[in-house]
Amino acid sequence: MANNTGLGVEAARKPGSRPPAYWIFSPLILVSAWSFYWIASFAKTVSWWTVLMAFLALLASFAGPVCRALGLSKAALICAATVIGLYWTLTFYVLAGFMIANPLALIYFWPFIVLPVIISVATTISFVRSAGIEWAFGCIGAGFAFAVLAIALGPASKKRDTNWVRPLDPADLRSEMRTLSKCSQDFAVAHPDAGFPESLDQLTAQSATCSIGKLGAQQKGFTVTYELGSKDGDGRIATYSLNARETTPKGKDTSSIFTDESGIIWTRYDGPHGMGSTMALLQGENGISRVRGCLADAVSGTAMRFVSGKSETTVSDPQQIVRRCVGEEHFVGEHKLVYNGYSYDFAFTKAEDGEADGFTVAIRPEPYGVAGIRSFLAIETSDIPRKHFNQIVYATPQDRAATVNDPLALGLEVGLSFKLAKTENY
């Protein structure tokens, strides 16, 4: 009889007598850590309620396991309820965000909503066993309320920005910055013992074209500054930076455009909206990527099929593959073509069996200083049986062909997804 009573008591254990599971707190620890990293990155634009929610999440996710370990069951349940409420807040907020922006986006970004839902449902089921169904529904309701509050606060921040003035577009200075970069390279060639210019006045005094580059920037609302960098072992000026900033910003957001001895031009936006976003202004990268891709197809060991109207032709000769891929009209020689402001002089390398197994292509802006100032040398080698392919691209801002002694190009300059244009076994 006593044994049956004991079993009955165990089966009818009251909600709240069982502590919450430790794993309930784990996902929120990771989320809150990422939240503070994000807040630190965008400190100037983060709202107060975002910081409050992140702090509450961090506090509850750490305090819950500690309270359970110390045997403080009630405190652990309160922390668990807070954590689960925050899970549902995130779930409702993400779902509402997609529904407001574009419901069809759920089809493409469903993992972003499925993961929060799984975490919320799983932790809630576990929490029911500890606190009961009433607490669980309370957590879901609190999460919904907080999500509504977060959504309501979002548009309020936008209303405060009705007086926002868009900064000037620094990309309008692309040609002026390219001209000044060319002038810097020309100065270094004309003064090999001195290196780059010592000042902006020395830079622009070379020719009327160089002076126009500076004046053009001023007419478009920017002020150009020139800063010396380091010197090499022989005392020559080896580095410099050239920056053009808005002369009179009309609001808190400002823009700038800058370059250095590399010849790569960048734009930057600062302020509450720009937040320091930076982007490279490239010239001809789409054309370079296309020609490089056609050359890679030509040495792939696979015949290519080309369709023109109702006719279809299968081509296996590498030279003909490139001509058909790029377009016959762009060729100015057997192994030379001009496409999208750049000239391409290429050659195939041969394996022992005489088949093409790689290529080299020298890429030059046509003309130098107008289409661009950076020249490239792309080299690809392949071992088709072992499916091993290597590609590397060198670059120089000087008015000459690039060599293997030059620095690596940026991947985005030549259509590669890597930071530097060097790939192995791709």
Is 393 in a helix, a strand, or coil?
Answer: strand
More confident residue, 112 or 168: 168
* CATH number of the structural domain 170-281: 3.30.540.20
Does position 163 have pLDDT exceeding 80, yes or no? Answer: no
Residue 415 confidence class, pLDDT cut points 50, 70, 90: confident
Segment among 54-58, 230-234, 265-269 with least mean pLDDT: 54-58
Residue 109 confidence class, pLDDT cut points 50, 70, 90: confident
Q: Tell me, what's the pLDDT at 391?
A: 84
Where are the strands (E) in 271-387, listed by range? 277-281, 304-308, 311-315, 331-333, 336-339, 342-350, 356-365, 375-383
Does position 113 have pLDDT exceeding 90, yes or no? Answer: no
Angle, CA 49 vertex, CA 255 and CA 277 arms, to 5°: 20
Does position 329 have pLDDT exceeding 90, yes or no? Answer: yes
pTM (2 d.p.) = 0.64
Q: What is the DSSP string of 142-157?
A: HHHHHHHHHHHHHHHH
Q: What is the mean pLDDT of residues 165-174?
A: 90
Is 138 in a helix, a strand, or coil?
Answer: helix
Q: Tell me, what's the pLDDT at 425?
A: 53
Could you give the C-alpha distances from 67 to 16, 120, 139, 233, 420, in angstroms and in order?
14, 21, 19, 63, 49
Q: Tell me, what's the pLDDT at 230?
A: 92
Which residue shows structure tokens 């922006």? 101
More confident residue, 54 or 179: 179
Q: How far is residue 170 CA from its own chain's centroid? A: 19
Quick one: angle between helices 73-101 and 111-131, nearest 10?
150
* 338-382: pLDDT as tens digits: 998 999 999 998 877 778 888 999 999 988 988 889 999 999 887
Q: Tell me, what's the pLDDT at 414?
A: 82
* 64-79: pLDDT as tens digits: 888 888 888 888 888 8
Q: Tell me, what's the pLDDT at 127?
A: 86
Where does 102-196 have alpha helices with state H?
A: 105-108, 111-131, 133-159, 174-190
Domain boundaries, the chain: 2-159, 170-281, 285-424
Q: Tell me, what's the pLDDT at 117?
A: 87
Segment among 119-123, 124-128, 140-144, 382-386 with least mean pLDDT: 382-386
357 touches 381 (CB < 8 A): yes
Q: What is the mean pLDDT of residues 175-191?
A: 93
* Mean pLDDT taken over the chain: 83
Compute the distance between CA of residue 278 and CA of residue 296 in angstroms, rounded to an integer. 31
Segment among 107-111, 178-182, 222-226 with least mean pLDDT: 107-111
3-state secondary structure 56-95: HHHHHHHHHHHHHHCCCHHHHHHHHHHHHHHHHHHHHHHH
* 1-18: pLDDT as tens digits: 444 444 444 444 455 557
- Backbone φ and ψ for 397, nearest 5 degrees, come out as -90, -5
Could you give the C-alpha distances from 32 to 52, 141, 298, in angstroms and in order?
11, 21, 50
Q: Tell me, what's the pLDDT at 9?
A: 40
Q: Tell me, what's the pLDDT at 411?
A: 85
Compute the distance between CA of residue 426 and CA of residue 418 in angstroms, rounded to an integer. 11
- Backbone φ and ψ for 423, nearest 5 degrees, come out as -130, 150
Compute the distance between CA of residue 85 and CA of residue 238 in angstroms, rounded to an integer. 58
Quick one: angle between helices 48-69 and 133-159, nearest 10?
160
Instruction: Name residues whose C-beta falls within 8 Å of residue 68's C-beta, 6 or more positions apart in sequence.
Output: 19, 20, 22, 76
The percent of residues above 90 in pLDDT, for the chain, comes to 32
